[in-house]
Structure 1
Amino acid sequence: MKHVVITGTSRGMGFEMVKLFSEAGHDVIALSRKPESLQALGLKNVQVFACDITKEEELQKIGDHIEGTWKKVDILINNAGAILNKSFAEATLSEFKAIYNTNVFGVAGLIKQLLPFLDSNSHVINISSMGGVQGSMKFPGLSAYSSSKGALITLTEMLAEEYKENGPSFNVLALGAVQTEMLAEAFPGYQAPVSALEMAKYIVDFSLNGHKYYNGKLLQVSNSTP
């Protein structure tokens, strides 16, 4: 049985991952700004918290809760993400910063809060995008999103290097098109070849086993463009 923390669990892949971990008997803390959909399911071994990862005080509450209960985190999946589909010229600086606050700074903030509970057997998985991979195909309107996902890739590599002696493993998955609400925002009308549940199954399996083979690695999980 693992102790698992997942962000971005109100819908899509995060929602499906929580159900998969619960079915397998693992303990889960599910974080999202809109927890109602998961709370309504009453899943076994699942604690659902309303949490905006861009707010330091809310992350502190999660850290305090874990310190008072689990005292250990085996798996952290940073799945929460924000997207902006707007040309660079039209996007305001505030909108640009908001994307980075969720996709980069919020991730860094949660990792910092949970570091005391992560050990050499723990696994941190950051969910990035093919749009953030250097040399991959890029799309107009996604400058904030794709550049933030590129920053997340480098952050993962740096953390793996910093904690390689006795800390957790850090890996990043750059996902291609998955049929989620976020994809629909970026590419209206596009039908992805992979469902949210299918990708959730892959991520769950990787979180449980990937750190045995990888650390500080970017894995491109895509069979399509986008």
Structure 2
Amino acid sequence: MKHVIITGTSRGIGLQLAGIFADQGHKVLALSRNDRPVLEKNHPGITAFIFDLAVKGDLEKVAHFVKEEWGGKVDILINNAGKLVNKPFTDITPEEFEEVYRVNVFGVAEVIRKVLPFMSVEGHVVNISSMGGVQGSVKFPGLAAYSSAKGAVITLTELLAEEYKGTGPSFNVLALGAVQTEMLEEAFPGYKAPLSASEMASYIFDFALKGNKFYNGKLLQVSSSTP
């Protein structure tokens, strides 16, 4: 049994991941600004509470829970939460650009910072990025804030793997291609992806459990297609 923290669990891949881990007997802390979809699962293996990556007090709640309920142990952290703005570059306000980075980059860094003391050398941090953040990949107009932030997550993952390679945990990042989620619809209205959220969640589930035996500091492009 693993102790697993997943962010961004109100919909899509994150919601599916929480269910898969819990159904397989693992303990899950599901974090999102809307906890209702997870609570509606009514699964004894899932704990959920309202969580905002940008709120320091919410980060403290996570640390308190891990210490009090899990004995100070986290095996897997999956940073899945994300924010997308789809606008021409000159229409994106500075506040919108900053908010995308606050969630997709700064929030990821702060969650990792808070959870690291509870993870051992066998632990695994899995950051969810996008093919749009991969250098040399196809880029799309309207996604300047989102894709550049996802590129920052990739570099952050590589740096943390190097910094903690002697003590652990392992850090890896998955750059996802087209998956049929609400966020994909926001980015590419009307596009139909070849993979469902549940199919991608199954892949991430397996990778989170076993990928750190084979990889550390690696970017894996998980994409059968892009729009």
Give the unaligned 5+ runs of structure 1. none
TM-score normalised by length of structure 1: 0.99
**Which residue of the partner structure matches residue 31 of structure 1?**
31
**Offset, 1:166:** 1.0
**Which residue of the partner structure matches residue 191 of structure 1?**
192
CA distance in 2, matches of 1:44, 1:121: 25
**Which residue of the partner structure matches residue 66 of structure 1?**
66
**Which residue of the partner structure matches residue 217 of structure 1?**
218
CA displacement, residues 152-195 of structure 1 (integer Å, 9 cap, x when unaligned) = 00000000000000120000000000000000000000000000
**Offset, 1:38:** 1.0
CA distance in 1, matches of 2:56, 2:204: 27
CA displacement, residues 111-134 of structure 1 (integer Å, 9 cap, x when unaligned) = 000011011000000000000000
CA distance in 1, matches of 2:183, 2:32: 15
**Offset, 1:44:** 2.2
Runs of 4+ in structure 1 off by over 2 angstroms are none
Please report the RMSD computed on the Cα atoms of aligned residues, expressed in angstroms. Answer: 0.6
**Which residue of the partner structure matches residue 47 of structure 1?**
47
CA distance in 1, matches of 2:130, 2:39: 28
Amino acid at match of 2:64: D
**Which residue of the partner structure matches residue 126 of structure 2?**
125
Q: Please state whether the residue corresponding to 2:19 is helix, strand or coil.
A: helix
How many residues align? The count is: 226
Q: Comparing 184-193 with 44-53, which one deviates more in the overlay?
A: 44-53
**Which residue of the partner structure matches residue 9 of structure 1?**
9
Q: Please state whether the residue corresponding to 1:224 is helix, strand or coil.
A: coil
CA distance in 2, matches of 1:61, 1:39: 18
CA distance in 1, matches of 2:171, 2:62: 20
TM-score normalised by length of structure 2: 0.98
Amino acid at match of 2:95: S
CA distance in 2, matches of 1:74, 1:62: 14
Q: Comparing 128-137 with 36-45, which one deviates more in the overlay?
A: 36-45
Give the unaligned 5+ runs of structure 2. none
**Which residue of the partner structure matches residue 93 of structure 1?**
94
CA distance in 2, matches of 1:34, 1:99: 18
1:153-192 equivalence runs, <5 A: 153-192=154-193
CA displacement, residues 49-94 of structure 1 (integer Å, 9 cap, x when unaligned) = 1100111221111111111221100000000000000011010000
CA distance in 1, matches of 2:34, 2:24: 24
CA distance in 2, matches of 1:142, 1:206: 27
Identity of aligned residues (%): 61
**Which residue of the partner structure matches residue 134 of structure 1?**
135
Amino acid at match of 2:136: G
CA distance in 1, matches of 2:64, 2:23: 26
CA distance in 2, matches of 1:219, 1:54: 27
CA distance in 2, matches of 1:214, 1:56: 31
Q: Please state whether the residue corresponding to 2:90 is helix, strand or coil.
A: coil
